Amino acid sequence: MSIGTSTDMSTAGAAQPPRADQVTPSRVLRSEWIKLWTLRSTFWTLLAAIVVTVGLGMLFSWGFAGHAADPKDPVPDAAMRAVTVPLQPYVIAQLAIGVLGVMIITGEYSTGMIRATLAAVPTRLPVLCAKAAVFAVVVLVLMEAMAFVAFFGGEAIIATHHLDASLSSPQALRIVVGVGLYLTVVGLLGTALGAIIRNTAGAIAALFGILLILPLLGEVLNLTSWGKHVTPYLPSNAGGDLLTNMPDPGSLGPWTGFALFCLYTAGAMAVASYLLRRRDV
């Protein structure tokens, strides 16, 4: 490097003295924490996720218990299903969590807030990291807790019909813990897609296209010889492996599948980060 360019670098501010009031990761986290909890949509979507997870979990358990106890028409694999039925509403709860994950970033683009945000933190990347971190911690803690509530509540109902399942049942603990993990990653995938697409409707469509429509196409593909090479690797199939004790033949296994789901999300986050740094707002 010539002397000329090195002086240019120093005037460009590469080596500024630190100052007490500078932007720091913890300050950006604090800012994003305030942002998350000062919008009504946060409360409504989280409340919806709670009601669905716990309320529908109990309802499913009650329906299942009545049906499973009928000696004339026994449910196959009832003991296995007794573990997953109370948690099954995660499929619906992911809609609320996914929408919230999208909106924490697209809400800023649709209102113009993003310009104020990025003017306050012009290095940009800390904003996306802080948003994702704050959101992930909130969803993980809350939905993990709700998964346990739904499981214990559901099992209490099922137990009245002489079917037993508890955390010590095979794979039960993994599945209960898995609900919070899966929902958190769904939300983060939403955030990444929101940051890439920068439009609420578009990002929600993309997210649920990936989570809900792709597996249906996978079913179709399963009718061909291609199916077994593609279907297990689809994001929601891979992620869903964590939440089942009756895996489809050819599935990747709980932790391998979930790791692949995380990898997809990390890939989307990497694209989102790259674009956030590059694009005009």
Burial 77-91 (b: 16+ CB within 10 A, else e): ebebbbbbbbbbbbe
Q: Is 168 in the site for another protein (CB under 8 A)?
A: no
Counting contacts by CB under 8 A, is residue 28 touching another protein?
yes
Q: Which is nearer to another protein, 18 or 249 (CB)?
A: 18
Residue closer to another protein by CB (options 76, 122) is 122
Whose Cβ is closer to another protein: residue 39's or residue 75's?
A: 39
| Residue carrying structure tokens 């891979």 | 238
- Binder of another protein out of 1, 3, 5, 14 (CB under 8 A): 14
Residue 6 in contact with another protein, rule: CB under 8 A: no
Q: Per DSSP, which regions of the chain are E strands?
A: none
10 Å CB burial of residue 178 (0-12, 13-18, 19+) is: buried
As a whole number of Å, the end-to-end CA separation of the chain is 33
Spatial CA neighbour of 170 closest among 243, 80, 77: 80
Stretch that binds another protein, among 36-44, 62-70, 133-141, 179-187 (CB under 8 A): 36-44
Cβ contact 93:183 at 8 Å: yes
* Residue 12 touching another protein (CB under 8 A): yes
Q: Which is nearer to another protein, 27 or 174 (CB)?
A: 27
- Give the CA distances from residue 172 to residues 82, 87, 98, 169, 250, in Å, rounded to whole numbers and listed in that order: 10, 10, 24, 5, 21
C-beta of 113 vs 270, nearer to another protein = 113
**Under 8 Å CB-to-CB from 129, ≥6 apart: which residues?**
25, 28
Q: What's the CA dihedral at 92, 95, 96, 98 to 10 degrees?
A: 140
Judged by beta carbon, residue 43 or residue 226, the one nearer another protein is 43
- Stretch binding another protein (CB under 8 A), from 35-43, 174-182, 201-209, 267-275: 35-43
In the structure encoding, which two tokens stand for residue 36, read together? 């998350």
| Nearest distance in Å: CB 42, another protein | 9
CB 125, min distance to another protein, A: 11
The three-class DSSP label of residue 29 is helix
Q: Is 22 in the site for another protein (CB under 8 A)?
A: yes
Only segment of 90-98, 105-113, 177-185, 218-226 that touches another protein (CB under 8 A): 105-113
Asked if 72 interacts with another protein (CB under 8 A), we say no
The residues that touch another protein, with contacts defined as CB under 8 A, are 11-14, 16, 18-23, 27-28, 30-32, 34-35, 38-41, 107-108, 111-123, 278, 280-281
